[in-house]
Amino acid sequence: MKNTLFLLIGFVLVLVQSNLFRVFDLLSIPGLVPSLTLPMILFMGVREFGAVKGAGLAFLLGYLNDLVGMTPVGLSTFTFVGLFLVARTVGNRFATQTFLTQAIVSFGFALVHSSLKLALIAIFSRRDPYVPRTLLPFVLPHTISTTLVSPFILYLCQRLDLGGSGGSVRTLRRSAS
């Protein structure tokens, strides 16, 4: 049930993300549209989702992101699964309790995500080698906007994970040990 709810919320976030460029186009800052599903992937990795369930959800959210967005199919799929596995591997070292730590961790993952996408586009785009150079100015505004939005998405994911019980992450961790 919880996994289905995460997938449904992720699908809604992908749809919202795919239409945000119309809103942010008025500001005339290229790349300002945040990645709304990346904080969900980060949350799943840090919160110790099962490896198979989490990788499966990351795969589906990445695939939905590829289908709805205008990226080559498989690009977000690969990067989301990879970032989930990295977040899961180093998740014990992250303490994403406060707004500041959530923003710092999200900034790092958003920067790695954007850089990884650019590198993969550079490797696999045979037709036009200037595409990564054209996309490079989009990285920093995209990373900053994802960083600003991620604490709110992480809070939403925390509420979904706790089932709306009103408990905190600290009490959840105390009860698990």
| pLDDT tens track for 70-128 | 778 889 999 999 999 999 888 766 666 778 888 888 999 999 999 998 888 888 877 77
How far lies 8's CA from each of 32, 42, 82, in Å? 25, 17, 21
Q: What mean pLDDT value characterizes the chain?
A: 83
Domains: count for the chain = 1
Find the mean pLDDT for residues 24-47.
85
Note down the domain range covering 27. Answer: 2-176
Q: To 10 degrees, the CA torsion angle through 23, 27, 31, 35?
A: -40
| pLDDT tens track for 114-167 | 999 888 888 887 777 777 778 888 889 889 999 999 999 988 998 888 775 544
pLDDT attached to residue 62: 93
pLDDT attached to residue 82: 93
How far lies 116's CA from each of 10, 110, 134, in Å? 21, 10, 15
CA within 13 Å, CB half, 112: 16
What pTM was computed for the model?
0.82
Close Cβ partners of 22 (under 8 Å, ≥ 6 residues apart): none
- Residue 7, domain CATH: 1.10.1760
